[in-house]
Structure 1
């Protein structure tokens, strides 16, 4: 679920925190992805096909654009999320949700596929979106790609939505610092706002809409103060409301070490064995996609070398120009060397 109507609130009250991007804008960036969100997208879009196929194609597209993906997997969910997970399992026709964090057979297949693609994998101790946000805060990655808006209250400075590798896709980027500045609230106050809007970890105050919740937080700053200034008849507060526990989850940091990230070349033969011989994907699809991947990367490598060569050539010409200029002005510089030294910028 994420945060109820948070995207709508940002669009209306802080549009300056939103920017629209192209996939090429993320060239050279390290992007953390909530793997469960990615897999759910493929299940919904192509229920008759294995989501591994979609994951294979999308990951190669990221790598072709020189985007460095880092896939983060959910661990054991917080106990406060049990009720939400049970409702989701019921809606999906499942007997019970996974409350232990143990890897399903499909998750194990995803892990194997991503290892063969040569991209880093991180096992979160709890929710993946919390881990993704922490990686941004630590400077390990540049941004989080997820459809789940609760990545923002977890503290991700940059959230990317709709990063689906399509050429014509309108990628939406949210800036948390800009959002807080526009709303004129702190991160802690923003967390309280998100709890009032409705999150996965506790109930919300009934009848309290997004604009009203924002106004109350901007005026009273904390949930405790908001509760003192609302009409309990029209906006009843939930019994045994666990908003403090939810607040601690959003503001806490995962109990883990920042990982070292490495990317390696995809293992084509092992990928063929997994996707074609085990998952029965047509071998020609896999081979053709790998060939396109190699050709695209080679083309981009040649383009970068040409750009570097052009840059060196331009720099050389500029250096020659300044060298001649300095020779012409040598007499003047000698006459006033102390003044020139003061004006000359320090070399780096």
Structure 2
């Protein structure tokens, strides 16, 4: 669910925080993904096919664009989220979810698949979304790709939605700094706003819409003050309301060390064997996609080399008009796979 109607609120009250981009704009970027969201997207969209096949296709699409995906797996969910997880699973017909943090057989298969694809995976101590946001705040990743808006109250500076979009300008990017600036609130106040809107960790005040919730936070700054200035007959406050626990979950940092991220080439033969054993895709389909992957990646790299060469040529001619007085310090380049645990600057 994420945050109820947060996307609508941003669209109407802070449209400047939204930009529309192409998937190619993220070439060379490290993107953190909540694995469960990706898997569930394919489970819902193609219930007759294994979601592992969807993960396989999408990951190769990222790699074709030289996007560096990092897949984060959920750990044990906080107790505040148990009721929501059960309700969500029942509505989708997926049975009772595991709230122990123990990996299911499908999760183990997905983990093996991603390793064969050569992309890094991280086990979160709790919610994967929280760790994805932390990776961005720490500079390990450039952005979080997710359809859930709760990545923003967790503190991710950049949230990307619809990164799988195939048409130009269909990818939607949200900037947290621009959002807070436009709404004239702090990040902590934004967290309280999201709790008022409705989140996965506690109930919300009944009858309180997005516009009213925003106005109350802008005026009173905290939920503690808001509850003192609302009509409790029209907007009853939930009994034993755990908004403070929810606030803490959004604001506390995951207890984990910065991971070392390494990307390697996909292992085609191992992938063929994996899908043969898993019986979720035929060998010829896997090999055709791998062949297209190699061709697409080579084609895109050739295009970038041509653009780079053309740009360098133009710059050289421009430099002829100026005398170089000193050598400028070279910018730090993106760390390669052998040194990719170095903190990286956040995207603007």
The TM-score, its normalising length taken from structure 1, stands at 0.90
- Say which SS state the counterpart of residue 227 (structure 2) adopts: helix
Residue 166 of structure 1, CA deviation: 2.3
- Say which SS state the counterpart of residue 228 (structure 1) adopts: coil
Residue 163 of structure 1, CA deviation: 1.2
Which residue number corresponds to residue 80 of structure 1?
Answer: 80
Q: How many residues align?
A: 329
For the Cα contact (< 8 Å) 2:34–2:132, is it kept in 1? yes
Q: Which whole-Å CA distance do the structure 1 matches of 2:315 and 2:158 have between them?
A: 34
Long gaps (5+) in structure 2: 330-348
Q: Specify whether residues 287 and 79 from structure 1 end up closer, same or farther in structure 2 by C-alpha distance, changes over 3 A only.
A: same
Which residue number corresponds to residue 337 of structure 1?
Answer: none
Which residue number corresponds to residue 171 of structure 2?
Answer: 171
After TM superposition, the structure 1 = structure 2 runs for residues 101-116 of structure 1, keeping only pairs within 5 Å, are: 101-116=101-116
Q: Which whole-Å CA distance do the structure 1 matches of 2:48 and 2:57 have between them?
A: 16
For the Cα contact (< 8 Å) 2:49–2:280, is it kept in 1? no
Deviations 1:207-237 (A, max 9, x none): 1111001000000000010010001111111
Cα RMSD of the aligned pairs, angstroms, is 1.8
Q: Which whole-Å CA distance do the structure 1 matches of 2:208 and 2:54 have between them?
A: 39
Which residue number corresponds to residue 133 of structure 2?
Answer: 133
Residue 167 of structure 1, CA deviation: 3.4
Residue 94 of structure 1, CA deviation: 4.5
Residue 88 of structure 1, CA deviation: 1.6
Range 302-311 or range 144-153, more displaced: 302-311
- Say which SS state the counterpart of residue 97 (structure 1) adopts: coil
Q: Which whole-Å CA distance do the structure 1 matches of 2:192 and 2:296 have between them?
A: 46
Which residue number corresponds to residue 198 of structure 1?
Answer: 198
Q: Specify whether residues 120 and 244 from structure 1 end up closer, same or farther in structure 2 by C-alpha distance, changes over 3 A only.
A: same
Q: Specify whether residues 16 and 317 from structure 1 end up closer, same or farther in structure 2 by C-alpha distance, changes over 3 A only.
A: closer
Which residue number corresponds to residue 341 of structure 2?
Answer: none
Deviations 1:182-205 (A, max 9, x none): 100000000000001111111111
Q: State yes or no: 1:236 paired with 2:236.
A: yes
For the Cα contact (< 8 Å) 2:21–2:168, is it kept in 1? no
Which residue number corresponds to residue 330 of structure 1?
Answer: none
Structure label with greater radius of gyration: 1
Q: Which whole-Å CA distance do the structure 2 matches of 1:188 and 1:139 have between them?
A: 20
Q: Which whole-Å CA distance do the structure 1 matches of 2:239 and 2:48 have between them?
A: 43
Residue 294 of structure 1, CA deviation: 1.0
For the Cα contact (< 8 Å) 1:162–1:169, is it kept in 2? no
Long gaps (5+) in structure 1: 327-343
- Say which SS state the counterpart of residue 140 (structure 1) adopts: coil
Residue 262 of structure 1, CA deviation: 0.9
Which residue number corresponds to residue 341 of structure 1?
Answer: none
Which residue number corresponds to residue 338 of structure 1?
Answer: none
Q: Which whole-Å CA distance do the structure 1 matches of 2:277 and 2:87 have between them?
A: 36
Which residue number corresponds to residue 146 of structure 2?
Answer: 146
Q: Which whole-Å CA distance do the structure 2 matches of 1:274 and 1:62 have between them?
A: 20
Q: Which whole-Å CA distance do the structure 2 matches of 1:314 and 1:32 have between them?
A: 35
Q: Which whole-Å CA distance do the structure 2 matches of 1:165 and 1:111 have between them?
A: 24
Q: Which whole-Å CA distance do the structure 1 matches of 2:17 and 2:143 have between them?
A: 15
Residue 318 of structure 1, CA deviation: 4.5
- Say which SS state the counterpart of residue 144 (structure 1) adopts: strand
Q: Which whole-Å CA distance do the structure 2 matches of 1:322 and 1:346 have between them?
A: 13
Q: Which whole-Å CA distance do the structure 2 matches of 1:217 and 1:105 have between them?
A: 44
For the Cα contact (< 8 Å) 1:137–1:156, is it kept in 2? yes
Q: Specify whether residues 308 and 213 from structure 1 end up closer, same or farther in structure 2 by C-alpha distance, changes over 3 A only.
A: closer
Q: State yes or no: 1:293 paired with 2:293.
A: yes
Which residue number corresponds to residue 40 of structure 1?
Answer: 40
After TM superposition, the structure 1 = structure 2 runs for residues 61-72 of structure 1, keeping only pairs within 5 Å, are: 61-72=61-72
The TM-score, its normalising length taken from structure 2, stands at 0.90
Q: Specify whether residues 347 and 255 from structure 1 end up closer, same or farther in structure 2 by C-alpha distance, changes over 3 A only.
A: closer
